[in-house]
Every structure is written in structure tokens, then in C-alpha cells.
Structure 1
Amino acid sequence: MQTNFDIAAQFTSSREGLYQNNRFDAGNWTSGVMGQGNLVGTMRGISAPVMVRWLGDASMVTTAVMQAITEDDFTAIARALYWRAVNGDQLPSGVDLLLFDFAFNSGVARASKQLQRVLCLDAPQIDGDIGEDTLEALLHVPANTMAWALNDRFRRRLQDDVGVASDGTIGPVTLQAVQAQAARLRVLIYAVASQQEAAYRSFRGFAQYGGGWLARLNARVDAAIRLLTAPDWT
């Protein structure tokens, strides 16, 4: 399958800042716990614990090392630790960017398990590993099975997209329009996005940072839909 990594990485990079050093952010500490390890900051969205994982030795991760993370470093880390971790090359266009950016922003396991839950996999298959079972489900799980995961605003957005009354109820008329327009993957994108929104709203920092998180989600969904409908979009 043709990879969209460059497009996804560009999207993510454009939403991450440069160097910051905030002692009240656990991602700025090499241990991943506030007050433990060394306070070295973050750069281009690469947290201190991720840099420890990348270099394999916490003692190597210093403020100077974090400040020196280049765009090429970002790309290498993003491909190895996030894109490959969500099996991005095997995901449908649009779904790949949606999963990758949320994984980079909020964790690979959370992003992968959300997808598996939306696909209604059995409990033992919801393991955060996007392997054969998940990829098979991506091909065959019908829209009505995934519709449970849509929140109200994405139900209405889906209905607007397929040209039916946006009443927020996914019934036979909406599902028939989805089938007629081959919009099953659009349902999947909106369903996963609904779960990503729920996760953001559950985070402790939502009151302070939620506006930015939801703006990033909206941009992520728009980019995913563009990729879905125009796979060569840049």
C-alpha cells in the first residue's frame, strides 16, 4: 500500500512547537514523572521520555540534546516510534493520518485500542497492536457496526456529507446513503474522531488546553477526509 507518511508527518510537525521547558509537564522530565529524573524539556513534540527511549540511555538526554532535535530527527522518531507502531503503511488513506497524529499527540496504545473498539473486536483483540485481526476488520466491518461510536456532532457531519437530514440519528436512511455512496470509511474516520474527542475531554488538562486539542482534532479530521477522497492530496 502506498504510504502517506510524508503527508502525515508534515501535518503533525506543523502542529508541534519548538523547544519548551515546563517543570509542571511530566513530558519534560526524563522519567516521565514530574520531579523525577532530569528536567530537560521537549522539542518538536518529542518528549524527554521519548528521547530517552530513542537514545537508549537517560544520561544522554540533556537540555542541549533536546534543543538540538532537528526536523530530520523528528521525522526519524515519528516514523519509527509512531507511524510503524500503528502500522500506518497498511491503514487506509485518511485513517492512517488520523491514527498517527493522535498516537503522536496522546499515545500509541490509546490510539490503537480506540480503533479496535470502534471496529467492535473481541476483548482479547483490543490489545493496542494493529495486526492481522485489526486490518481484516478494517476491510469488512460494516458501517452500522461502527456507528455506535459516533458522537452527536460527527453523526450530523456524516449526514451532511451524504446528503440526508442531519437529525443526529443514524437510521436506515443514513445507512442506505452511506452504502450508496461507498462512505463506510468516512463513518470509520468520524467514529474514531468521536473517540479521540472523548479522550481529550477526559484528560486532566482539558480546562486549560482543551480548545487547542479540539482545534487540532478538527484539523486532523479535515486532513483525513481530504486524504480519503483524494489520496494524492498534499
Structure 2
Amino acid sequence: MRESFTPSLAAVLVHEGGYSNHPSDPGGPTMKGVIKRVYDDYRRSKDLPVRDVRQIAEAEIQEIYRRRYWDLIQGDRLPAGIDYVVFDGAVNSGPAQATKWLQRALGIPADGVLGPATLAAVARAQDHDAVVAGIQARRLAMLKALRTWPVFGKGWGRRVEEVRRLGLALAAGAQNLPLPTTSASGKAYASSAKAPPPKSVGDALAAGGTVATGITVATDALAPLADKSATAATLLTVLMVAGALVGVLGFVYREWAKAKAAELLDALDLKAPDLGSAAEPEEVAA
């Protein structure tokens, strides 16, 4: 059996860096990519007392990464290059999300479960370079859709590109590998997604919100005076045009908001009812 776990983990750990506890990082206190919640769960599963994640031992790091990430993404059954790319994504965004990126790159339904159907699709894939590139393109799109992109975007972008290059080199069986650089950054979960633009604003304008209602009231008041006053007639015309514009702008905004929401859902690999409710169970469950 091909042994890719050790070199893949070595590359992942370079990107994860050492200890961090950034206030914008949803992972919280993290040591070498292992968040405190995960470390606490691991210690409890061994009937050991919880302790500061900075005290994590090398053997614990190895076991956590293999059991909670590598095994869940079936690393030993994935082709060279693809295994590392999916693994790195799983560490940063959770195994289910990384699996969705792989599934989308393969052109199959993205359910986040790396089972027989996904493995069969991987076996059918002839162009591993395209799969690696597809995974990383999907990953970058999601990262840009997160609220924390302005904080961690520079490091995330560099990491995605370096993982892509190394994944392609591994897939090609290259001897001189482009090693990653240290670019520790926050965890990237779909639950940190930006809020979609509110369609209610467009609905209110198009269907008669406060502005449209006010224009209608003014128009009704001026209508009887239009035949008697040139000024009233001019104001009536202006208000009628404004009312029409409000309705059109409301419709345009509503359609724009719908398109933006659909774009966000696609980037997060979610269905409409799931937006805003995605959690990171991969990082919480024991």
C-alpha cells in the first residue's frame, strides 16, 4: 500500500504553523492545526484529563490527524496528489467540506460523504491534474465567501495556490517538489459564510414599501389639483415617474439579491434551506 500520510502531514503542518488563538478564528486556540475542542475530545476518548492544546504530544498529533482527517477522507485509497489536496482541505475546513470539493471536481453529487460512489468516480478520472485544479478552485471560491476572508484571505490564498502546485507535482510523480511555506491562518468553515443580501428590500420597493406608499399618497393628493395648477401637474408627473422607478429598482435589486444568494450557496456547496445553519461537526464530534 502506498504510504502518503507521513509526507502529506509534513506539508500540512508547515501550513498550519505553531500555536495561534486569533479572535477571528472560529477554531479558537489551535496548536499545529489541532483546535482545542478536538484535542479535548481526543483526550476524553482516552480517559485522560484535558489540558492546554499547547501541550499536545507528537504521537497525539499523528493519531488525531490520521483518525480524524486522513482516514475520514480515505487517504490511503486516493491517488497521489489528490490525497494530499483533499487532506489539506479537510484539516482547514473539515472532511465533509473537502469531500464536497472533490465530488464537485469529479462532477458527481456533493453530499460530503467519501464512500464507494466517490471512490469509483476517482478511479474513473483520467485527468488527475484537472481534479486537483478543480478542488482548489472550489476551495478558493468558498474561502472568498466567508466573513473572515478580509482577515485571513492573504494566507488562505497563498495556501490554496501552494497546495495546488504541490498536489500537481505529486500527481505527476515529480522528484523536485515545490515545498509549502509557513502561512498559518484561521480555520475556514462554511458556518462562517457571509450573510446573503436581503431580498426583502427589493420586495418592499417592488410591492409598495414605505417609499412607494408615500409616493402613492402624494400622487393621490395632487391628482385633483393637476388640472388647476401647472406646478401641481409637474409635481404629479415627477412623482409618477419616481413611483415607477422605485418599482423597477425594487425588481432589479430583488433579482440581484437572488443571484448573489445563489452564487453564495454554490460557493458553499449548500442547498437554500441550509444557508446560515451549516456547522462544523467534523471539528466537534469525537
TM-score if structure 1 supplies the norm length? 0.69
Once residues 145 and 49 of structure 2 are traced to their aligned partners in structure 1, the CA distance between those partners, rounded to angstroms, is 34
The equivalences for 1:78-93 within 5 A come to: 78-93=65-80
Of structures 1 and 2, the one with the larger relative CO (CA 8 A, separation 6+) is: 2
Structure 1: gaps (5+ residues): 29-40, 143-183
Once residues 209 and 24 of structure 1 are traced to their aligned partners in structure 2, the CA distance between those partners, rounded to angstroms, is 9
Aligned residues: 176
Identical columns (%): 29
- Corresponding residue for residue 50 of structure 2: 61
Shift of 1:14: 1.1
Shift of 1:23: 4.8
1:45 pairs with 2:29: no
Question: Structure 2: which amino acid aligns with 1:216?
Answer: R
Query: Do 1:19 and 1:42's aligned partners in 2 also have CA atoms closer than 8 Å?
Result: yes
- Corresponding residue for residue 2 of structure 2: 2
Once residues 158 and 54 of structure 2 are traced to their aligned partners in structure 1, the CA distance between those partners, rounded to angstroms, is 27
Deviations 1:195-228 (A, max 9, x none): 0111111111111110100111111111111111
Which one has a bigger Cα radius of gyration?
2
Secondary structure in 2 matching 1:27? coil
Once residues 186 and 24 of structure 1 are traced to their aligned partners in structure 2, the CA distance between those partners, rounded to angstroms, is 34
Question: Structure 2: which amino acid aligns with 1:62?
Answer: R
Once residues 103 and 11 of structure 2 are traced to their aligned partners in structure 1, the CA distance between those partners, rounded to angstroms, is 24
Question: Structure 2: which amino acid aligns with 1:110?
Answer: Q
Question: Structure 1: which amino acid aligns with 2:156?
Answer: W
Query: Do 1:48 and 1:61's aligned partners in 2 also have CA atoms closer than 8 Å?
Result: no
Query: Do 1:200 and 1:206's aligned partners in 2 also have CA atoms closer than 8 Å?
Result: yes
- Corresponding residue for residue 128 of structure 1: 112
- Corresponding residue for residue 172 of structure 2: 229
1:19 pairs with 2:40: no
Structure 2: gaps (5+ residues): 178-286
Shift of 1:62: 3.2
Q: Equivalent of 1:189, from 132, 149, 155?
A: 132
Secondary structure in 2 matching 1:127? coil
Once residues 112 and 104 of structure 1 are traced to their aligned partners in structure 2, the CA distance between those partners, rounded to angstroms, is 12
Shift of 1:50: 1.1
Once residues 80 and 172 of structure 2 are traced to their aligned partners in structure 1, the CA distance between those partners, rounded to angstroms, is 9
Question: Structure 1: which amino acid aligns with 2:119?
Answer: L
Cα RMSD (Å) of the superposition? 2.2
Could you list the runs of 4 or more consecutive aligned residues of structure 1 that deviate by over 6 angstroms after TM superposition?
231-234
- Corresponding residue for residue 58 of structure 2: 71
Question: Structure 2: which amino acid aligns with 1:18?
Answer: G
Question: Structure 1: which amino acid aligns with 2:58?
Answer: E
Secondary structure in 1 matching 2:147? coil
Once residues 12 and 125 of structure 2 are traced to their aligned partners in structure 1, the CA distance between those partners, rounded to angstroms, is 28
- C-alpha change, 1:218 and 1:22, in structure 2 (3 Å) is closer
- Corresponding residue for residue 100 of structure 2: 113
- Corresponding residue for residue 178 of structure 1: none
Deviations 1:41-100 (A, max 9, x none): 22111001111221237993333xx11113332222111110001000000100000000
